[in-house]
Chains A and B, each alone.
Chain A
Amino acid sequence: MRLTADDAGREAELRAYLLGALPAARQDEIDEQVISDADLHAEVQATADDLIHAYLAGELTPEDRDRFEAHFLASPPQRERVAFVRGLVTAVESMDAAAPPSPVAPLGVTPAAGRASIAVWAAVAAGLVAVLGAGWLYLQNARPREGGGPIAERPSAAPSSPAAIDPSPDPAVTPAPGPTVVALRLPARSPGQPVDLPLGAETRTVRLEVPVSDGDSATFDAVLRRPNGEEVWREEGLAPKRFGAPIVVTAPTDVLADGEYVLTLQGEPTREGSGSSASRYRLRVLRTP
């Protein structure tokens, strides 16, 4: 019995396999195929990484999340894999935030790279224009805003062109249908009072941009805590993309309920031996239906 050919059905079955949610007989059949078939083994490996990504992005159903934590993470190598995927996503996010690719002059693609390579770039670039470039433009447009506050909610469906993005710096967040990302630029110095962070019902990810000085540490650890000290999110080894660029902390919104939080950005001591720097911000999460 082979796996189902339909993409969604196949994906769902492989995920269920990895979560130990299939009937024993079917689980056993796939076990045998995975051991015998190198291609299927590679596909299950890829699905496992995608499953980890879905877990980190808060996309799993509560039932699947429970299975993931109880079954999938039972083995130490799986936990290491989660750390790898988390690091990769963070690295991709920071790369994306600081260096939007130009669709006009693709970097370093030469005729020698081959037709397939160029085709890949062209198609990817087309997507990136809509998704990444648009987000970058939006952030650029919002940059004049100082003193902290929400930059924008990025609509879930990528607009057809950058011009379709509303450049209004109005801090009022317009609810958009579908899942979104909220970006919040924090001021260079903590204002003392909480900075509002409105989250729509469909918002899945929040990007907190924290300005750092050039003389600050090379890498930073960011921790998001409740006022009682309970840690809800942590990212370590964060680095600005370039001098002057902010540190970007990316957190899934499912760890954030209504209420106050404290974001601490702790710099690692520099090699020259100077002390570590620390910033502390109070945030107020406002969940909207």
Chain B
Amino acid sequence: MTARWSLTHEALGQLLERLGTDPVTAGREYEALRARLVDYFVWRGAHHPDVAADESLDRAARRLEGGEAVQHIGPYVHQIARYVLLEHQRRDVRERRALAGAARELAAPADTSGELPSACLLRCLRQLPDDARALIVAYYKGEGRSHLESRRALASRLGISYDTLKTRAHRLRLRLGACLRECVKAGGPCD
């Protein structure tokens, strides 16, 4: 039985070198690439997206340390991630079969009714600058039309492209998400 390979300092160094010219840039890009990989696995339905992302990066580092020639790191990591995904999917199927009782649970309709502390979200919304809050409110309105159509109209009124509007709304949601996590960690809004 062969010993399981684990990430070495040298291998990680090889990968970081491919990601940035200085340690700070490389570290930042590593985190960004990992975040993109996590989402890739989430969107592909992997049950353990963080584990899969780390496995992909570890394998890329290992191959780079082994001297494999790599022209573009993104597509290279994607190829590795594809194999990791297949392995995870096979593993997930095995897990479902092994856990006969849990299989029913896994196959059950997804419960999306997770409770969210709405008081926290309201406070986070109120803490946004007025123009940002107005933007996110307007983004989620659009009654009477499809949201895509009303958002296009909003972008037009703002004099920006639809893509830019989408990105702005996305950044605001990230900000609200971070605020929500802080608020929940603090045990809810104090005001």
Contacts and interface: CB of A to CB of B under 8 A. Distances in A.
Interface string B140-176: 1111111110001110011100110011011001001
Nearest to B46: A75
B27 interface: no
Given A75-B49, A237-B117, A106 B122 contact: no
Given A83-B114, A86-B116, A124-B138, A179 B121 contact: no
A179 B58 CA distance: 51
Contact of B173 (A88, A238, A239): A88
Q: Is the interface of A mostly helix, strand, loop or mixed?
A: helix
A109 to B, nearest CB: 6
B174 to A, nearest CB: 8
B45 A71 contact: yes
B144 A237 contact: no
Kindly state the interface size class of chain B when it binds its partner: 35 or more
Contact of A91 (B114, B125, B131, B169): B125
Nearest to A114: B131
B36 A205 contact: no
A79 B111 contact: yes
A131 interface: yes
Contacts of B40: 31, 34-35
Interface residues of A, number: 90
Nearest to B113: A234
Interface in B73-128: 74-75, 77-78, 81-82, 109-119, 121-122, 125-126
B136 A92 contact: yes
A280 to B, nearest CB: 21
A220 to B, nearest CB: 10
A260 B135 CA distance: 38
Given A119-B159, A128-B137, A31 B170 contact: no
A78 B43 CA distance: 8
B3 to A, nearest CB: 29
Interface stretch (A36-44, A161-169, A185-193): A36-44
A121 B131 contact: yes
A94 B122 contact: yes
A123 B166 contact: no
B177 interface: yes
Given A88-B140, A90-B118, A96-B141, A36 B78 contact: yes
B114 A120 contact: no
Contact of B140 (A34, A37, A89, A113): A89
Contacts of B153: 127
Given A69-B109, A83-B112, A154-B144, 8 more contacts: A31-B44, A44-B39, A44-B43, A77-B49, A80-B114, A92-B125, A157-B145, A238-B118
Interface of B: 32-33, 35-37, 39-47, 49, 72, 74-75, 77-78, 81-82, 109-119, 121-122, 125-126, 129-131, 133-138, 140-148, 152-154, 157-159, 162-163, 166-167, 169-170, 173, 176-177, 180
